[in-house]
Structure 1
Amino acid sequence: MILEPAPPDFKTAHSIDRNAFGLPLIERTDADGRELVIADGSGELHVRLRDAQAARRPAVLVPLDNMGELRADVALHFARRLAGQRTGLLPAILRLTSFKKQRLIQLLHAFDVHDLGGGPRDVAAKVLASDHARRRSVEWKDSHARRKANRLVHDSIALVERGYLKLLRGL
């Protein structure tokens, strides 16, 4: 979510009370402003503050794209939290189950192995921790670890080559 300073004639803008959010998990500053990753029981909230005035008179910037509705939901969640109201969970498409998190970690690890020149045997050994990777080629060819390693490599390439956008859309 991107915060900009609200126009001066907006008198109802609340300033952001950092204590209400607790300590951020991540806080970094770059040429585009400050980024905070804040966690609570409802999930992680990524906030980009374009300048110092954005924290004093926050206004949410919602780009009108194919994810506008999701962005508006996150902005409403943020506004409720800022006002001290109950927020509930983030939209379902932004919440990852522990299984999905593990799968994404596995895919990224598989991509790293593949990107460094490793083949399915390397993926099976390093990512899946499978002893099938050390078997003879006839046994390896019929191995479920080989099929799974090939799937991981294929899916990891798709994820890195813009497939990650599906995550943001909840697909």
Structure 2
Amino acid sequence: MSDGRHLVLGDIDGPHHLWLRSTLPEQPLAYIIVRDPAIEVRRQAAWRLDRRIGGAPPTRSAGAFRPTPFQRQRLDLLLDILDTLQTQPRPTSHDIARRLIYPGMSIGRGMEWKSSTERRRTQRLIEEALALMRGGYRTLLRGSLGGRQKSTA
């Protein structure tokens, strides 16, 4: 007995991953959507699939994640930081700042570096890159950058 068919259908807004279970002829198609933090993305994907099955042309959905040029540049920087952290010997935050974040700038050493805004920014970027690696990338897959929100309280 088969558990059904697994299909991937291409679409302009991203592929549809489907699991078609054995169905009875002439029965309506049912969509099952997992209730988890990505439910809204899943709901929109089901809506897009339903439109396509109904013969509608592909459209770019408003909910799709499209990072701005600034966001793409920042994500590239975070990935570069992660790649650099994987090298041996492991680089210091000063090395990362000098190579990736402030490449054309002369940044101090010792006490000057320890008390600098460049060091604090570098440490924040390293932490953000590590958080992305430890699971924060899932927020990207759900369709947003996420990130910390500043409280108004």
TM-score, normalising length: structure 2: 0.62
Alignment of 1:64-83 (within 5 A): 64-83=35-54
User: Aligned to 1:166, which of 119, 139, 150?
Assistant: 139
Alignment of 1:50-65 (within 5 A): 62-65=33-36
Q: Using a 3 Å threshold, how does the CA distance of structure 1 residues 85 and 93 change in structure 2: closer, same or farther?
A: closer
What value does the CA root-mean-square deviation take over the aligned residues?
Answer: 3.4
- Aligned-partner residue type, residue 71 of structure 2: K
Q: Using a 3 Å threshold, how does the CA distance of structure 1 residues 99 and 131 change in structure 2: closer, same or farther?
A: closer
How many Å apart are 1:130 and its aligned residue?
Answer: 1.9
What are structure 2's unaligned runs of at least 5 residues?
21-28, 147-153
Q: How many residues align?
A: 132
Runs of 4+ residues over 4 Å off in structure 1 = 33-38, 58-61
Residue 79 of structure 2 is matched in structure 1 by: 108
Instruction: Indicate the structure with greater strand content.
Output: 1
- Aligned-partner residue type, residue 124 of structure 1: A
User: Aligned to 1:121, which of 89, 94, 98?
Assistant: 94
- Tell me, in whole angstroms, the C-alpha distance in 2 between the residues paired with 1:48 and 1:113: 34
For the residue of structure 2 that corresponds to 1:48, the secondary structure is strand
What are structure 1's unaligned runs of at least 5 residues?
6-32, 52-57
8 A contact 2:63–2:143 mirrored in 1: no
TM-score, normalising length: structure 1: 0.57
State which structure, 1 or 2, has the greater radius of gyration over its C-alpha atoms: 2
User: Aligned to 2:17, which of 33, 43, 48?
Assistant: 48
Identical-pair percentage: 27
